[in-house]
Amino acid sequence: MAQVREWIDIVSLGIEALAVAMMVCFIVVGTVRWLFHSAKGIEGTYRRYRDVLGKTLQIGLELLVAADIIRTVAVDLTLLNIALLGALVVVRTAIGWTLSVEVEGHWPWQRARESGPGPAGVR
């Protein structure tokens, strides 16, 4: 049983490392592209840069939440850890929703209810 816990802990650390590496890589690549396109005077580069950063952070946050859930449920299942996990999930979900509003211009649940114009104002 101890070996299983060790492997699960390693897996959760791997998911966290993947999330951080992915965020850093996409931020670097997005920044380089933004600088390159800005120097060429391409229109809309800042908006695309913000979209890349926002979506990268959203995916990274989701991976970090997954790693926390795996670690808490499989390795350290105590009442205190479950409460801490709940608080982390609430905070990261709020940040994810805020990023979603910033990037997409509407709340995550509004897309399903509305059949109005798309992201570029085109039907």
Asked whether residue 123 carries a pLDDT value surpassing 50, the answer given is: no
DSSP for 76-123, please give it.
Answer: ---HHHHHHHHHHHHHHHHHHHHHHHHHHSS-TTHHHH--S--TTS--
pLDDT confidence bin for 18, thresholds 50/70/90: very high
Output the pTM of the full model: 0.72
Give residue limits of the domains in the chain: 2-113
Asked whether residue 12 carries a pLDDT value surpassing 80, the answer given is: yes
pLDDT in tens, 35-74: 998 888 888 888 889 888 988 988 998 898 888 888 888 7
Asked whether residue 113 carries a pLDDT value surpassing 60, the answer given is: no
